[in-house]
Structure 1
Amino acid sequence: MSKSLSEFKYMTFDVVGTLIDFEGGLKTCFAEIAAEVGSTVDGEQALSLYRAARYSKDADLFPDDLVRVYLAIAPKLGLPTEQKYGERLRDSAKSWKGFADSAAALASLAKDYRLVAMTNARRWAFDFFEKELGNPFYAAFTADDTGTEKPDPAFFEKVFDYVASEGHSKDDILHVAQSQYHDIGISRKLGLTNCWIERRHAEKGYGGTIEPAEFTKPDYHFTSMAGLADAVAAARARL
């Protein structure tokens, strides 16, 4: 049996894809560039090409790597291969929106838990994401802070050390994320209780997120952050 949602002291969150709609942001930017050059793009095709290009051996940190990714996939989308468009895709991260339920759910959860961001994005981008989400975080760890990216266990160990410095342990953490590859699988291996937010429940495939080698059944499963917040409220009402 999983621990009750009321028992945790911390909730750690993947940000891009779980709280911030990066797929929507990417598709919007691709569509705008296409419209300016008199073309159109298929959003799901763009995400598929993005995913293949993003997870290459020469990848840079996110979202800086979007410049390289754009230049690699633009010809396949019929878009101009100019540096300025790659930089535009990278900079679009500054205006990516949170999912409609993200800010309200986080504000509700912050009343009872210490919310900790765990993002593969660089700090400069996270600063925009955090503001978009209403600045709900108690602490935050980015790729710049950890020197690595999830699913590297070292990223999680940094957070475990931080929690330990406050007198707690990973048993006090519920890890919340949409990515099976980056978060759910590795969190299970590290002994964390996890919660899968299946943002693409109404769509086929993994979109812009790499497909995991195997599916990990989560401890908790919701299709939205609102679902998690409602379940927490119900659990705490039973106390």
Structure 2
Amino acid sequence: MARGLNEFKYMTFDVVGTLIDFEGGITACLAEIAAEAGVSIDGEEALALYRQARYMPDANLFPDDLARVYMVIAPRLGLPAEEKYGARLRDSASGWQGFSDSRAALADLAKSHKLIAMTNARRWALDHFERQLGSPFFVTFTADDTGTEKPDPAFFHKVFDFVASRGDSKGDILHVAQSQYHDIGISRALGMTNCWIERRHAQKGYGGTIKPKHFTVPDYHFTSMADFAAAVRESLKERT
């Protein structure tokens, strides 16, 4: 049985996809380029092509890799295969929006827990995302800091080492994320308690996120950050 939501000191968060709407950001930018070129695109098709290109062996760190990804998917979408548009897709990350419930939920959760960001995005992108989210994090870890990307266990062990330096352990952490592939499966394998925020609950498929080989049943499951934060509030009331 999962532990109570009031029993954790820390909450670690995936950022891109859980808190920041990267799918909306990518498809919006591609739609703008398409409109300028006089064509139209299907958003879900674009995300499927993005997903395939993103996980090629020659992929770079995110979101820098979007410049390369664009050149791969543009011909398939009927878009102009020009590097300036790849750079535009990459740079669009600085304007991606948080989900409508992210900022308020994080502000609420930060009152009772230490929030830790764990993102495969590079530091320059997280700087923009943090401003979008109201700078709620106690500490942040990016691919630049860890030298690797989730689901590599080494990323998680960097966070475990930080928590240990404060006299705590991974048992004091609740890991919160939307990606089964990058977060939920590996957090379970590492013995963490996890919470799945199923952002695509009303949509079919995995969108821009790679499909996991095996689905992992999470310890907690919500379809929004608002519902998750509300459950945490109720749990804290029960403790008092």
What TM bracket, shorter-length normalisation? Answer: over 0.9
Give the secondary structure class of the aligned counterpart of 2:227.
Answer: helix
Q: For residues 167 and 128 of structure 1, what CA distance do their matches in structure 2 show?
A: 31
Q: For residues 90 and 219 of structure 2, what CA distance do their matches in structure 1 show?
A: 34
Map of 1:106 onto structure 2: 106
Deviation sequence 1:19-76 (CA, Å, 0-9, x none): 0000000010000000011111100000000000000100000000000000000000
Give the secondary structure class of the aligned counterpart of 2:140.
Answer: strand
Percent of pairs identical after alignment? 73
Map of 1:156 onto structure 2: 156
Q: For residues 55 and 84 of structure 2, what CA distance do their matches in structure 1 show?
A: 22
Letter in 1 for 2:72: A
Q: How far has the Cα of 1:208 moved from its partner?
A: 0.1
Letter in 2 for 1:101: D
Map of 1:68 onto structure 2: 68
Map of 1:166 onto structure 2: 166
Question: CA RMSD for the aligned pairs?
Answer: 0.3
Letter in 2 for 1:209: T
TM-score with structure 2 setting the length: 0.99
Map of 2:205 onto structure 1: 205
Give the secondary structure class of the aligned counterpart of 1:59.
Answer: coil
Letter in 1 for 2:229: A
Q: For residues 56 and 108 of structure 1, what CA distance do their matches in structure 2 show?
A: 38
Map of 1:229 onto structure 2: 229
In structure 2, runs of 5+ residues without a counterpart are: none
Give the secondary structure class of the aligned counterpart of 2:116.
Answer: strand
Deviation sequence 1:70-110 (CA, Å, 0-9, x none): 00000000000000000000000000000000000000000
Deviation sequence 1:164-203 (CA, Å, 0-9, x none): 0011000000000000000000000000000000000000
Q: How far has the Cα of 1:5 moved from its partner?
A: 0.2
Q: For residues 166 and 225 of structure 2, what CA distance do their matches in structure 1 show?
A: 26
Q: For residues 82 and 56 of structure 2, what CA distance do their matches in structure 1 show?
A: 21
Alignment of 1:118-197 (within 5 A): 118-197=118-197
Letter in 2 for 1:132: Q
Map of 1:25 onto structure 2: 25
Give the secondary structure class of the aligned counterpart of 2:18.
Answer: coil
Q: For residues 207 and 156 of structure 1, what CA distance do their matches in structure 2 show?
A: 24
Q: How far has the Cα of 1:3 moved from its partner?
A: 0.8
Q: For residues 227 and 184 of structure 1, what CA distance do their matches in structure 2 show?
A: 18
Map of 2:36 onto structure 1: 36
- Structure 1 ranges of 4+ moved more than 4 A: none
Q: For residues 217 and 10 of structure 1, what CA distance do their matches in structure 2 show?
A: 21
Q: How far has the Cα of 1:15 moved from its partner?
A: 0.2
- The count of corresponding residues between Structure 1 and Structure 2 is 239
Q: How far has the Cα of 1:210 moved from its partner?
A: 0.1
Q: For residues 88 and 97 of structure 2, what CA distance do their matches in structure 1 show?
A: 16
